[in-house]
Structure 1
Amino acid sequence: MSDDNPHSGNGSSKTLMEKIVQVFTGEPKNKEELVEVLNDAQDRDLIKPATKQMLEGVLEVSDMRVRDIMIPRSHMVTIDIEQSVSEFLPTVLESAHSRFPVINDDIDHIEGVLLAKDLLAYGFNADAAEVSLKDIIRPAIIIPESKKVEPLLKEFRQQRYHMAVVVDEYGGVSGLVTIEDILELIVGEIEDEHDDMLEREIRHLSGNVYQVKALTEIDNFNEYFNAGFNEEEADTIGGIVIHQFGHMPNRGESINILGFEFKVVSADKRRIQQLQVAVPKDHEVNGKLADDR
């Protein structure tokens, strides 16, 4: 397809991005202009909102490093390699995770990764001997904090692993990252059979920090966070945040409202998409203290 004639070639074989670019006489010169192209394409009904969200997610991921999305070490759920099944099984069941870093004495000494499914062969075999973690753990993938998220996703897919342990420049464990963490940045919250509507709008990240969709209705936000935001001031929590800023905030801007720290995670010139919310210490969230979650 020629750069001078965007309409040349076989129209049926054009990619989605080629069709979008055809609508405009000029080419976007930076990411902000490209986002405006996507906004205009959605307004013209050329792409669906979900498609636009995914494209914006891809743009965001291209700038991110692992340190921006990892689960910090203080909130990693680990198993000690010397633990027996009876000792670590409650951890597996309560967390509902599928993969667990296995440590030796402390978190900076990762021996490997336990896949919960690898325990099934022992759980349904009455004659099986007591399982030894050393015999069933898989190698841990170690990556630096500075690694870019985009190539990591490619490695996850090509090498068929789903979790990596993140280390700092001194070799100490900083946290972990999963393929689901990256995919959710692109396609939004990945739902499972345990999710309900409210959980799809509000995602617990770690400690007292949550990711919240800007379009979450005020009454839902108040219910989940035991908060008292005025439902007459705006319909959504994003509306409350914009009203308090007094302008359309850029990505990365923060503001404190009623003790809640709101940070804009994703936004364009017309709307906020995602917020990161730090809940006040010792504040009850969904029936539990925020620090205890």
Structure 2
Amino acid sequence: MEHIPLWAQIGAVIVLLFCSGFFSISETAMMALNRHRLKHLVNKGVFGAKTTQSLLVRTDQLLGVVLIGNNLLNTIIPVLTTSIALRTFGSNNLVLSVATGIVAFLIIVFAEITPKIVGASFPEKIALPASFVIAPLMRALKPVIWFVNLFSNAILLTLRINTKGGREHRLSTEELRTIVLESGSFMPTKHRSILLNLFDLENITVDDVMIPRRRMEALDLDAPFEEILHQLETCYHNKLIVYQGDIDRVVGVLHVRKTLAALHKQELERETLRELLAAPYFVPSGTPVFKQLQYFQETRQRMGLVVNEYGELQGLITPEDILEELIGEFTTTIPRTVGSRRGWNEQGECIVAGSMPLRELNRWLQLSLPTDGPRTLNGLILERLEEIPEGDVCVQIGDVQLEVLQSDDQTVRTVKVFRPKTQARTVQS
């Protein structure tokens, strides 16, 4: 190499360092590229996305051409650098040692670390254009790549390592949840909340979202007929659960509007009322909410009665109750005897019924009371106190302070909820 000018050798080292850095930056960018994002870019027809996707399908060949090119260049660079050192400073052990150290430093900084950092930081911007250089090189070096991979595949086969099974990347529910949580300002808050609630539908049952039996509006067929007529004229819902004597003995569902229309046309009698009843639709306790939503869709039902293994009525569920778990409350509910929909007062307090479901209370007041145990506020307080309070009692659950205002021998009737300090600071800011 003595006949090659010194400036040409130095220029060749710089070019080779640049080429080696190109292989490093391309490899890192393509490996760091999000596969799902890449599929989206391919569907949008982004320039270079399809070529990049075709390269990543053949990962063994892609890594083969990149590593062959990178290592070949990293082998030539020390040879050229040593030649320059010997030509400039003569044959000397110290010169060779210094030249070796300089070459190692140049390769590490300019051909390895710096390109890899840039490639990992901007994978999409680098991988797509680089694919147009890597693709023809892969075709040109196909015989060499095949020969090298022949040995690599033999070693993997000997070690019984299956690389085909790891090529398909599937996101779990928790990984999707993390993606949604980290979407930040890229997704509206309401949309993000709906997606997160959708993931939760797999983990909750109808017992978590149903209207408890104590809050159900039902009609007793054995009651005096005057009371039945009065309840029909003043009832809050369009459909009523009708039972006979005991609420566990449900005989049907009554369409109030049709009943009132029949009342205006002719004199309504108890037997006529029984003829207007529709067959009740029962739902086993513990049914997953998402599966129940599918059942509602398949059976064209608008109301289900939740019963336990003994056939006892536990509550009532409608498609609207499930949808409220996704998008928040949007339908009217049974009026509450205590508490109102005004939420927190000026003192940061709110009075609610002890029978209120915890999931509904959390959604309404933006609280984080635990929902993996009792389903109502009354149940949560009794579990924490391990007894029914006889007078005014305060209890702290997480960051929420609760004060029992009214209770009887069986349940906690009324509770005052104090706004958490962290929530108060957020509202003020």
Normalising by the smaller structure, the TM-score range is: 0.5 to 0.7
Aligned to 2:394: 259
Structure 1 counterpart of 2:361, from 200, 203, 212: 212
Q: When you count strand as a share of all residues, which structure comes out higher?
A: 1
* Structure 2 Cα separation of the partners of residues 93 and 147 of structure 1: 34
The two structures have a TM-score, normalised by structure 2, of 0.44
2:204 aligns with one of 50, 58, 64: 64
Other structure's SS at 1:67 match: helix
Distance apart, 1:57 and its partner CA: 1.6
Q: For residues 127-156 of structure 1, give each alpha carbon's deviation from its aligned partner in whole angstroms, at most 9, with x where no partner exists.
A: 444363211111100111021111111221
Which segments of 5 or more consecutive residues in structure 2 lack a partner in the other structure?
Answer: 1-34, 46-122, 125-168, 344-349, 374-379, 385-392, 408-412, 416-429
Q: How far apart in 2 are the matches of 1:177 and 1:261? A: 31
Instruction: Note the 1:68-147 alignment, pairs <5 A.
Output: 68-83=208-223, 86-92=226-232, 95-125=235-265, 127-130=266-269, 132-147=272-287
Asked whether 1:159 is paired with 2:299, we answer: yes
Tell me the distance in 2 between the aligned counterparts of 1:199 and 1:171: 34
Q: Report what 1:19 is aligned to.
A: none
Q: 8 Å contact 1:208–1:280 — kept in the other structure?
A: no
Q: Residue 404 of structure 2 is aligned with which of 274, 280, 283? A: 280
Q: Is the 8 A contact 1:102 1:111 kept in 2?
A: yes
Show the counterpart of 1:48: 188
Q: 1:157 to 1:282 in 2, by over 3 A?
A: same
Residue 162 of structure 1 aligns with an amino acid whose one-letter code is R
Residue 40 of structure 2: aligned partner: 7
Shift of 1:96: 1.0
Aligned to 1:168: 308
User: Of the two, which has the highest radius of gyration?
Assistant: 2
Separation (CA, whole Å) in 2 of partners of 1:279 and 1:133 = 45
Q: Equivalent residue for 1:37?
A: 179
Quick check: 1:145–1:168 contact (8 Å CA) kept in 2? yes
1:53: Cα distance to partner?
Answer: 1.6
Give CA deviations for 1:37-85 in whole Å, capped at 9, x if unaligned.
11222x232x221211211121111211122222233333221223465
Change (3 A) 1:215 1:151: closer
Partner SS state of residue 325, structure 2:
helix
Instruction: Measure the CA separation in 2 of the matches of 1:279 and 1:114.
Output: 40
Partner SS for 1:152? helix
Structure 1 position 186, deviation (Å): 0.7
1:27 deviation in Å? 6.5
More helix by share: 2
- 1:269 matched to which residue of 2? none
Q: Once the two structures are aligned, what percentage of the paired residues are identical?
A: 22
Seen in structure 2, the aligned counterparts of structure 1 residues 169 and 184 have a Cα distance that, compared at 3 Å, is: same
Rate the CA distance shift 1:36–1:251 in 2: closer, same or farther, 3 A. Answer: farther
Secondary structure, aligned partner of 1:121: helix
Cα deviations by residue, 1:83-104 (Å, 9 ceiling, x for unpaired): 4653124434555122221112
Structure 2 vs 1, CA of residues 27 and 44 (structure 1 numbering), >3 Å: closer, same or farther?
A: farther
Q: What's the offset of the Cα at 1:159? A: 2.2
Between the aligned partners of 2:257 and 2:395, the Cα distance in structure 1 is 39
Residue 290 of structure 2 is matched in structure 1 by 150
Name the SS for the 1:282 alignment partner: strand
Q: Give the secondary structure class of the aligned counterpart of 1:158.
A: helix
Structure 1 pair 81–27 and aligned structure 2 pair: CA distance change class (3 A): same
Q: Tell me the distance in 1 between the aligned counterparts of 2:364 and 2:208.
A: 23
Q: What is the CA deviation profile of residues 249-291 of structure 1, one whole-angstrom value per residue up to 9, with x for unaligned ones?
A: 87649798x7366589xxxxxxxxxx9x9762517xxxxx639
TM-score normalised by L of structure 1: 0.61
Structure 1 pair 209–63 and aligned structure 2 pair: CA distance change class (3 A): closer
Between 1 and 2, higher relative CO (CA 8 Å, sep ≥ 6) is seen in 1
Question: Counterpart amino acid of 2:185?
Answer: R
User: Which letter maps to 1:199?
Assistant: R
SS in 2 for 1:62: coil
Q: Structure 1 residues 76, 101: CA separation in 2 closer, same or farther (over 3 Å shift)?
A: same
**What is the aligned residue count?**
228
> 2: distance between equivalents of 1:122 and 1:141?
24
Deviations 1:17-43 (A, max 9, x none): xxxxxxx99865442x433311222x2
Q: Is the 8 A contact 1:208 1:290 kept in 2?
A: no
1:290 corresponds, among 414, 424, 429, to: 414
SS at match of 2:275: helix
Partner of 1:231: none
